[in-house]
Amino acid sequence: MIKYLSKRLIQTIPIFIGISILVFILVNSQPGDPYSNMIDPNVTPEIKEQMLKKVGYYDPLPIKYVKWASRAVIGDFGYSITYKEPVKEVINSRIPNTIILALSALFLSTLLAIPIGIVSSVRRNSIFDYSMTILAFIGLSIPAFFFGMLLIKTFSVDLNITPISGMTTFGKNYLGINHVMDVINHMILPTIVLALINTASLMRYTRSSMIEIIKLDYIRTAKAKGVSSLSITFKHALKNALIPIITILSFQLPSLLSGALLTETIFVWPGIGRLNYEAVLNRDYPLIMGIVMIFAVMTLIINLIADLLYAIVDPRIKY
């Protein structure tokens, strides 16, 4: 197992380097001067040129990359042009909020999708299966912003059950358990919106994977031997259907982290998705590169965890 994981870890190093080079080139190839907002407009052109030379704006692209990469290795992504703070501190102030929201959405979608997918596969072509299929297609078709606005209109405006936006109640400095409950109350609607599409897709993949396994000969043999349906479904079929399910989950978590932009914008959730959007609008290159590289690291870590789960579920993989 250690040899298998070490090999997978080594394989991620060139991938990470390639991602960093590609991101750096794309961001720094944009036209214009991103530092113009930092410099006093009353400064003379000569002093402005001196300042740009000092920060390395006119350095060749390879030199810029080497300087940036050497700092990024130790977690120094430079200073945010917009926030006038170290990029690491700006990201650290926002990323926990997105992680909380993404994990909650992933937990909710998994809790709903896998049991529904299992039941649909066992009772395929039944009324339940057809109903869940229709709901899955509806979930895949509804835009996140429309569903979010619909939930706000229904539960926040009409019924006044949940807050409209934000992460905490404005003007209320709750402490302890009251603060936790206030955050949970604000998380309900964005979590539902973020989990919608993932629930639909995960349910369909679970159903398809289970149906393929149920058709195999060893499942028929187990049925012929009188093994209970519950044991066949969970002990034999589900265990062997976990590989594609783990794959989909490993794809969904990075997409939840990076794709929370619309949800965070609709509900004014102070997360990394909204921060990335603001960084692009303000041409905050250090912040953009810092966010993208953090997401790249998290994606590679999630893929490593998925590889570990593959080896646990199916020991043949590590050989």
Report d(CA 112, CA 32) in Å as an integer: 48
> How much is the pLDDT for 132?
87
Cβ–Cβ under 8 Å, residues 79 and 85: yes
> How much is the pLDDT for 318?
57
Tell me 86's DSSP state.
B
Name which of 73, 84, 70, 67 is nearest 28 in CA terms.
67
User: Rounded mean pLDDT of the chain?
Assistant: 80
> How much is the pLDDT for 33?
62
Report d(CA 61, CA 66) in Å as an integer: 9
Which pLDDT tens digit goes with each residue over 233-280? 777 777 777 777 887 777 777 777 766 677 888 888 888 888 888 888
> How much is the pLDDT for 305?
80
Please enumerate, as own/partner, the contacts of 262-266 that have beta carbons within 8 Å and a separation of 24 or more. 262/144, 262/145, 262/148, 263/101, 263/144, 263/148, 263/190, 263/193, 263/194, 264/98, 264/101, 264/190, 266/144, 266/145, 266/148, 266/149, 266/152, 266/165, 266/190, 266/193
| Structure confidence at residue 32 as a pLDDT band (50, 70, 90) | low
Cβ–Cβ under 8 Å, residues 61 and 28: yes
The helix, strand and coil proportions of the chain, stated in percent and rounded to the nearest 5, come to 75, 0, 25
Cβ–Cβ under 8 Å, residues 243 and 313: yes
Contacts of 231 (CB under 8 A, 6+ apart): 222
pLDDT cut 90: percent of the chain above it: 0
3-state secondary structure (DSSP) of residue 79: strand
Q: Domain-by-domain residue ranges, the chain?
A: 96-270
> How much is the pLDDT for 1?
64
Could you give the C-alpha distances from 176 to 28, 99, 181, 182, in angstroms and in order? Answer: 44, 20, 9, 10
| Structure confidence at residue 174 as a pLDDT band (50, 70, 90) | confident
Question: Does residue 212 register a pLDDT over 60?
Answer: yes
Report d(CA 293, CA 310) in Å as an integer: 25
Contacts of 67 (CB under 8 A, 6+ apart): 56, 59
Q: Which CATH superfamily is domain 96-270 in?
A: MetI-like (1.10.3720.10)
Question: Does residue 319 register a pLDDT over 60?
Answer: no
| Structure confidence at residue 182 as a pLDDT band (50, 70, 90) | confident
